[in-house]
Amino acid sequence: MTVLYGVPADTPDVRPRQSEDVTRTGPADPAAAKVLVMLDAFRGPRTVLGVTELAHMVGVPKSTAHRLLSIMVKGGFVRKIGTRYCLTERLFEVGTLAGPTAVRSTGLRRRAMPYLTELHAGSQDIVHLATLSGTDVLYLEKLFGHNRCSPTAVGTRRPAHATALGKAMLAYASDQQLAPVMAGPFQRFTAQTIHSADRFERELERVREEGLAYDEGELRDGMHCVAVPILDPETRTAVAAVSLCSFHPQSLRRHATRLLSMARELSRAAV
């Protein structure tokens, strides 16, 4: 497999859409806004970028991009590697103090770790903890062994409709959270990806009935996942989800009971 800047070349390019608070800047925007948009440009699968690429992505002249990068280098947030740039560990340090409010304020991430560790030890498969962020799944934790890698990493996003984690949370999401996903588009990553609102709604109904969500090679060919939601015990909406992923789908069904039990216990702790 070809690897480009630490990311498998066959990993789907699912750079998140620009959010409402991080938009393209214009000539009248303050320098601080441009710096934030440039930092946001590093969120994609390519983590080492050149000045020309960044200028194009942010929508500023190359000279402006070079000036802003110099400021970020001096501040210790960006490092220059040859003629290209990457984020530094300083952002990692800051990032570990942040996180979705519903997860951070309840200590859910900390409480979930023993369960995730036990699940990985018992299955030897890939384990994820994630939350919903807009129309995407945001990965908070990942445990994996020596088996084939998956196109996921802590701090990255994947479209919710193409993942078991996303289905598990959207089945118990508020109307406000669900509406943008149902509005589409349903981007296709493999032949198995659900690509219509009607079919996706039927899938969410099934998840509500069974308590389990599945990804049958919908994000990456050959990779199968099963996920359970972690619910707020008062609102009964999903605050996070846990998934188990494998390239050997027959192994996942054996852990369904354990996943459901884990979801119940963590849901009680999500207060």
Q: What is the pLDDT of residue 27?
A: 45
Of 9-23, 111-125, 135-149, 218-232, where does mean pLDDT reach its minimum? Answer: 9-23
The DSSP bridge partners found for residue 225 are 215, 245
Of 48-52, 87-91, 104-108, where does mean pLDDT reach its minimum? Answer: 104-108
Per DSSP, the residues of 12-48 read ---PPPPPTTS----TTS-HHHHHHHHHHGGGSS--S
Span 39-64, average pLDDT: 84
Q: Is the pLDDT of residue 207 over 50?
A: yes
Q: Is the pLDDT of residue 105 over 50?
A: no
pTM value > 0.75: no
d(CA 187, CA 207) in angstroms, rounded, equals: 21
Q: What is the pLDDT of residue 151?
A: 76
Full strand arrangement of the beta sheet holding 84-87: 49-50, 84-87, 78-81
Decide: 127 and 242 in contact? Cβ < 8 Å. yes
Residue 249 has a CB neighbour count (10 Å cut-off) of: 17
Residue 89 has a CB neighbour count (10 Å cut-off) of: 11
Q: Is the pLDDT of residue 15 over 70?
A: no
**Please, what are the domains in the chain?**
3-95 (1.10.10.10), 101-269 (3.30.450.40)
